[in-house]
Amino acid sequence: MKTTQSRAVGKRNASARSSSGIDTSLRLNALSALLAVVLPALASQAAYAQSCASGQILPGSPANSGCAANVTSGTTLSATTINSGGKQTVTAGGATTATIVNSGGSQTVFGTDTSATINNGGKQFVSSGGATISATINSGGTQTVFGTDTSATVNNGGKQLVSAGGVAISATVNSGGSQSVNGIVSAATINNGGKQAVLSGGSAIGTIIGSGGSQAISAGGADFNAIINGGGKQAVSSGGVATGAMVMSGGSQSVSAGAVANGTVVNGGVQAVASGGMATSTVVNAGSQAVSAGGSASGTIVNSGGVQVAAGGVVSDTVVNSGGSASVASGGTALNTTVNAFARQTVTSGLAVNTVLVGAVSSGGTQYVSAGGSALNTSVGLKARQTVYAGGVASGTQVLSGGSQTVSSGGQSFAANIANGGSQFVIGGGTATGTTVAAGASTTLYVGGDTASGPLAGPVFASGNVQGTLVLATTSALAVTGNANASANALVLNGGNVVFNAPDSAGYKTFVIDGLSGSGAFTLNTQIGSGQTDKLVVNNGTGNYTLNIQDSSTTTPKGARVLVVGGTNDSATFTLPNGTFDVGAEKFGLQSVDGQYYIYDTGLLGDAASVAQAVPGVATMLWYRQMEQTSSRFAELRDGADQGLWVRAYGQRMTLESVGVESTSNVFGAQFGRDLRFARPYGNWYLGLTGGVAEARTTAGNSGTANVYPFNVGLYGGLVGKDGWFTDASAGYLGQSNSLYVTGVGNTNNASYNGNGFSVTLEGGRRMNFAGGWTIEPHAGIDYLRANSNSYLFDSGTPVDLAAHGATIATVGATLSKAVTFGHTNLQPYFSLNGMHAFNNEQTVTVAGMPINSQTPSNWGVATLGVSGSLNQSARLALNVSYAKGQQHYQSPVAVTLGFSYRK
């Protein structure tokens, strides 16, 4: 059993080995057969790939028989030529380069294509997800982009269509080429003759439009940051929007009806906004913005060299900077324009509303309103100007401090408000109606009249309210030679002033007022000596007014009378501020005859003449007062004072009447000196130097004042004999500096002059001593004062001539004194009484050809009470009080003198 089993097992094993060998052989045979089939196939496929990868021509040709037209993922084909009927699809992941698509051929790109050339009739479709780079689209060729295209070149007759969802980057469109954008285009360059059309849903970003190139933005299209170079054009049609475009010199942007341009920067180019178009936030640098009828622009900034023209359109919120200009013409409207310093706005046949002319220290903005133009509510700042020319109209202008409005001949201003410091100028033929002139402001009317080319109508100031100043003047621009005139209707003076400027070649002026009310002042110029005057003609007037008269006469005829206010005044009343005023040497007043007002000669001496004749008399009395101080020094020496230094200060009040005019002077002065004593057996000789200064503040007449400053320097000497007899003498140079003022309201008239002369004095007497320390000292003296001739002018031109004058004054008097000792102090109280007589006490003063005598008192007396005493062995003090009275109403109610001497 075991043996049988073993054999059986061995047979099975042998059988199994035999079967395994058969299987292996079969497998080898099968593999050989498979390789025999596959290897030729693989070799065939390699040969196919080698022949189709480059230079394929579609549709198929014998050269590439069996090549597939489509390019699958991972496959790259180059230099394929697609002819009529040929089609190539580049699937996602596939790539082609240098493809040529000819007429009737097409390529669809889901993958990537580089450097394709699309010729006449050829088409390339860049599908979503596909990308093409550096395609060249020639005449008749078309590229349609649903995916992404970069750096395409579109030549003459070629077209690039960027569809919705498509993107084209850095395309170049040459002459005759076109790019249509429904998708997104970035950084395209449109050269001469090239065109870019941004259609509904399309967007163009950073397009560069060269000379001769054009970009059209249609409804639903949008452009951003285009650069439009010289000769390039951008046209924004209805529904299109252009944002951030830059228009260079020679370039243009046109904005049609329904289109919008935002943030355009014009650098030397032109932005044209047509009817229905809108431009916002444009910046114009050295270029122009033109807004036609029906168009609008808002928020424009016009810089130096830039121009904005509202030619029938509406512009709002424009800012015009230095060197820029804005023009409103052909029915255009400008709202809320701001015109800065050195910029301007011109309004011609249009309307400007709420313009602000910004002020500046050097120069403000300017607005010119010409024929057919209107400006409403313009604000004029510091050194800014509004000028209204013939045919122009300005309404509601606000002229601020330092600003000005000028209304030229034929121009009109309505309801202007001239604020404090502002100015309005109305030139002959111009009209200002309803102007309000605030306090501190002024309106100047430049008169019309006779000119070389015929009569010129005067300016008209109607329904004005004047708190400030209304000035009548002439301007060389009008060259008026006579019959100078201006007029006003319904003039209200609310405390204001009407000033006639000084006459010139146009002569004196006439101001005709039909309807005057309120209160204020008129300043007129006259030359009564020749009978000429400014004239005020008032019809239907009410209120109270002051006339300030500025007269230029140097001489006046006696009894002169001239008319200054005519017309039918009704109840208007005119007065002079001081009741009278000076003309030459005369005082003139105002006379009303049936509502007509005349300036007439009152026969009284004028204030200028009054102060002119008062000053010489005051100066003579002050010179004499100075010489008295030297004589008083001799009295001190006789009282026991020794040689040395001395000074005497004095003050007094004096009144003096000369030819019916009283003057009052407050005097302060000081005289000082140094003397030496020379002892002799018969007495003591004294010799010294002296000098002094003084000031007198003088009033004369109603409103005349003067400051008189006399001074002197001289020598003095004398003998005090032991027997009590004495004699002394002095000689000196006299000088004076004088300032004269006439300070009446509206009649200020000043003058100044310097004078000189000399003095000689001689005095003698005897000192007699009595028991008990009493002393009586009679004395007599004579003084000669010489004033040299002189002449000067008042500010008004009134001449004054002073004749040379020599006054001799004789003095007789006596002094009673008594020596008194208090403790160790020796005092010398005294009382003196002196009488003076002046020989030739009148000096001839000629004012405006009229001789007037300046007088000093012919006789007067002085009573003096004083005391002197030694402070110590070297110092001595003296004090006296005096009273004087004499003829010519001379009086000095009090005079005080304080003296001090020091032995040396």
Q: Which residues contact 309 (CB under 8 A, 6 or more apart)?
A: 288, 289, 290, 291, 326, 327, 329, 332
Mean pLDDT, the chain, rounded, equals 90
pLDDT of residue 59: 86
pLDDT of residue 546: 95
Question: Per-residue confidence at 306, pLDDT binned at 50, 70, 90?
Answer: very high
User: In Å, how far are 91, 108, 124, 132 from 127, measured between CA atoms?
Assistant: 10, 7, 9, 10
- The predicted model gives 25-40 an average pLDDT of 47
80-91 confidence digits (pLDDT tens):
999 999 999 999
380 in a domain, yes or no? no
Name the least confident of 47-61, 399-413, 724-738, 775-789.
Answer: 47-61
Question: Per-residue confidence at 651, pLDDT binned at 50, 70, 90?
Answer: very high
- Indicate the DSSP class of residue 140: T
**Is 90 exceeded by the pLDDT of residue 703?**
no
717-760 confidence digits (pLDDT tens):
999 999 999 999 999 999 999 999 988 655 578 999 999 999 99
pLDDT of residue 556: 76
| Token duo for residue 34 | 């498979």
Q: What is the pTM of this model?
A: 0.72
* Dihedral sign from CA coordinates of 600, 602, 603, 604: negative
User: In Å, how far are 36, 218, 292, 887 from 240, measured between CA atoms?
Assistant: 70, 5, 18, 106
829 in a domain, yes or no? yes
**Is 70 exceeded by the pLDDT of residue 588?**
yes
518-530 confidence digits (pLDDT tens):
999 999 999 988 8
From CA 23, how far away is CA 812, in angstroms rounded? 185
Q: Count the domains in the chain.
A: 2
* Strands annotated E in 79-147: 81-82, 87-90, 95-97, 100-101, 106-109, 112-114, 117-118, 123-126, 131-133, 136-137, 142-145
652 in a domain, yes or no? yes
805 in a domain, yes or no? yes
CATH number at residue 793: 2.40.128.130
From CA 885, how far away is CA 832, in angstroms rounded? 15
601 in a domain, yes or no? no
SS3 103: coil
Name the least confident of 25-29, 368-372, 805-809.
Answer: 25-29
CA 25 to chain CA mean position, Å: 118
Strands 442-446 and 448-451: unpaired
- Indicate the DSSP class of residue 156: T
Q: Which residues contact 781 (CB under 8 A, 6 or more apart)?
A: 631, 761, 762, 763, 764, 810, 811
Residue 44 structural domain: 1-51
CA angle 390, 394, 399 (to 5 degrees): 120
Residue for token digits 């709420």?
Answer: 354
Pick from 245, 243, 238: nearest CA to 270: 245
Pick from 183, 148, 190: nearest CA to 162: 183
* Dihedral sign from CA coordinates of 547, 551, 556, 562: negative
From CA 898, how far away is CA 476, in angstroms rounded? 64
Name the least confident of 473-477, 491-495, 675-679.
Answer: 473-477
SS3 11: helix
191-236 confidence digits (pLDDT tens):
999 999 999 999 999 999 999 999 999 999 999 999 999 999 999 9
**Is 50 exceeded by the pLDDT of residue 18?**
no
Pick from 663, 756, 649: nearest CA to 694: 649
SS3 222: strand
In this structure, the chain runs to a length of: 904
User: In Å, how far are 117, 650, 771, 833 from 828, measured between CA atoms?
Assistant: 138, 20, 15, 16
| Token duo for residue 315 | 């512009």
- The predicted model gives 612-632 an average pLDDT of 92
What are the beta bridge partners of residue 77? 96
321 in a domain, yes or no? no
Pick from 626, 638, 646: nearest CA to 757: 626
SS3 621: helix
From CA 188, how far away is CA 38, in angstroms rounded? 54
449-489 confidence digits (pLDDT tens):
887 778 888 899 999 999 999 999 987 767 777 788 999 99
Q: Which residues contact 385 (CB under 8 A, 6 or more apart)?
A: 357, 364, 366, 367, 403, 404, 405, 406
Contact 113, 132 (CB under 8 A): yes
- The predicted model gives 286-302 an average pLDDT of 97
Contact 561, 599 (CB under 8 A): yes
Cα atoms found within 13 Å of the Cα of residue 885, Cβ hemisphere only: 3
pLDDT of residue 398: 98
Q: What are phi and psi of 613, to 5 degrees?
A: -80, -20
From CA 591, how far away is CA 692, in angstroms rounded? 50
16 in a domain, yes or no? yes
Contact 567, 538 (CB under 8 A): yes
Contact 135, 149 (CB under 8 A): yes
- The predicted model gives 609-618 an average pLDDT of 90
**Is 70 exceeded by the pLDDT of residue 43?**
no
pLDDT of residue 747: 58
From CA 634, how far away is CA 779, in angstroms rounded? 12
From CA 641, how far away is CA 876, in angstroms rounded? 7
The 3-class secondary structure across 315-345, one letter per residue, is EECCEECCCCEEEEECCCEEECCEECCCCEE
pLDDT of residue 594: 86
Question: Per-residue confidence at 278, pLDDT binned at 50, 70, 90?
Answer: very high
**Is 60 exceeded by the pLDDT of residue 597?**
yes
Q: Which long-range contacts (CB under 8 A, 24 or more apart) does 246-250 make?
A: 247/271, 247/287, 249/286, 249/287, 250/211
| Token duo for residue 342 | 């050195």
Pick from 155, 159, 153: nearest CA to 171: 153
Contact 509, 523 (CB under 8 A): no
673 in a domain, yes or no? yes
Contact 260, 273 (CB under 8 A): no
Contact 521, 547 (CB under 8 A): yes
pLDDT of residue 582: 82
Name the least confident of 73-77, 177-181, 742-746.
Answer: 742-746
Contact 449, 474 (CB under 8 A): no
From CA 806, how far away is CA 784, in angstroms rounded? 7
| Token duo for residue 488 | 């006003």
Computed over its alpha carbons, how large is the radius of gyration of the chain? 57
What are the beta bridge partners of residue 381? none
From CA 806, how far away is CA 760, in angstroms rounded? 11
Segment holding 612, helix H or strand E: helix 607-638
% pLDDT > 70, the chain: 92
